[in-house]
Amino acid sequence: MFAIFKREVRSFFTSPIGYLIVGSFLLLNGLFLWVFKGEYNIFDYGFADLSNFFLLAPWIFIFLVPAITMKSFSEERKMGTLELLLIKPISIWKLVLGKFWGAFLLCVIAVIPTIVYVFAISGLGMTAGNYDLGVVLGSYFGLLFLMACYTSIGIFASTLSDNQIIAFLVGILVCFLIFNGFDAAATLFSNGETQQTIQSLGAKSHFDSIARGVIDTRDLVYFISLTLLFLYLTFQRLKQLPR
């Protein structure tokens, strides 16, 4: 598994794609948070906190994570190297996990520089350092779990076709439906209890819960279960492919 992991990480940073994806994430966040006028602009928001960043980041990752994962198995199938990997003395699970952790690490690397935003808002407040550290840590924690979920979805999507564009589009669609689809479906019902039940099936509800700074076991179980589900679907899909 570690050999696959290293191979994935090396492939990202020996080509422009890794730098492009990390740079795109930081550029888009920087523009929307600090430059462009609008609802996400921190200066227009009037409060020295990072809530706008954690509102924006999940949407940007809906596009960036599938861009990272689209080549995971699609490229292997197109190049004819997947069959070679499957006949090597490495289990399919280790192959899947190696690909998963390699892509997930790139997502984490993209997020690390945003820690500078914490220091920025610390200096912007009327009183320096007057921000809720628990909420910030909880939001970063929730973002990591959401990225893991997106990564597993993207890895699964890459097994569905040897065309990277198709894998990219399927990844975006499934990530969007998991994150916001249930919230949208809930609006079709007028009963408040029914709306809450449907919303609780979506990732946005659980991410928002963690982002409030409260670590609930149910939210962690949700993200871990969803991540493992798509990794399992990836495993089953690879088992069905001809060797």
Phi and psi torsions of 136, nearest 5°: -65, -50
Q: Taking a C-beta distance cutoff of 8 angstroms, is the pair 136, 143 a contact? A: no
- How many other CB atoms are there within 10 angstroms of residue 108's CB atom? 12
Q: Name the least confident of 70-79, 103-112, 218-227.
A: 70-79
- What is the enclosing helix (H) or strand (E) of 205? helix 203-211
For 179-238, how does the pLDDT look when each residue is reduced to its tens digit (9 = 90+)? Answer: 999 998 988 888 878 888 899 899 999 998 888 777 788 999 999 999 999 999 999 998
Whether pLDDT at 159 is above 90: yes
Tell me how far apart the alpha carbons of residues 120 and 28 are, in angstroms, rounded to a whole number. Answer: 17
**Residue 48 — very low, low, confident or very high, per pLDDT cuts 50/70/90?**
low
Tell me how far apart the alpha carbons of residues 132 and 67 are, in angstroms, rounded to a whole number. Answer: 33
Q: Distance of CA 223 to CAs 5, 60, 68, 106, Å? A: 22, 19, 20, 19
Mean pLDDT of 131-137: 74
The secondary structure of residue 1, as a DSSP letter, is -
Tell me how far apart the alpha carbons of residues 141 and 118 are, in angstroms, rounded to a whole number. Answer: 14
Task: Specify the length of the chain in residues.
Answer: 243
Tell me how far apart the alpha carbons of residues 159 and 236 are, in angstroms, rounded to a whole number. Answer: 10
The closest alpha carbon to 59, from 175, 187, 211, belongs to 175
With tokens 């099936």, the residue in question is 201
pLDDT of residue 129: 53
pLDDT of residue 236: 93
Q: Taking a C-beta distance cutoff of 8 angstroms, is the pair 82, 167 a contact? A: no
- What is the enclosing helix (H) or strand (E) of 17? helix 16-30
For 5-22, how does the pLDDT look when each residue is reduced to its tens digit (9 = 90+)? Answer: 888 888 887 878 788 888
Whether pLDDT at 126 is above 80: no
Q: Name the least confident of 49-63, 101-115, 172-186, 223-237.
A: 49-63
* Mean confidence (pLDDT) of the chain: 86
* Three-state DSSP class for residue 55: helix
In the chain, where the domains are located: 1-240
Token code pair at residue 159: 């097994």
Tell me how far apart the alpha carbons of residues 105 and 107 are, in angstroms, rounded to a whole number. Answer: 5
Torsion 13-17-21-24 (CA) sign: positive
pLDDT of residue 17: 79
Does 1 or 94 have the greater pLDDT score? 94
Tell me how far apart the alpha carbons of residues 12 and 85 are, in angstroms, rounded to a whole number. Answer: 19
Question: Tell me, what amino acid is at 204?
Answer: K
pLDDT of residue 116: 87
The closest alpha carbon to 159, from 63, 243, 235, 61, belongs to 235
Question: Tell me, what amino acid is at 222?
Answer: Y
**Residue 139 — very low, low, confident or very high, per pLDDT cuts 50/70/90?**
confident
Q: What is the pTM of this model?
A: 0.90
Mean pLDDT of 102-110: 92
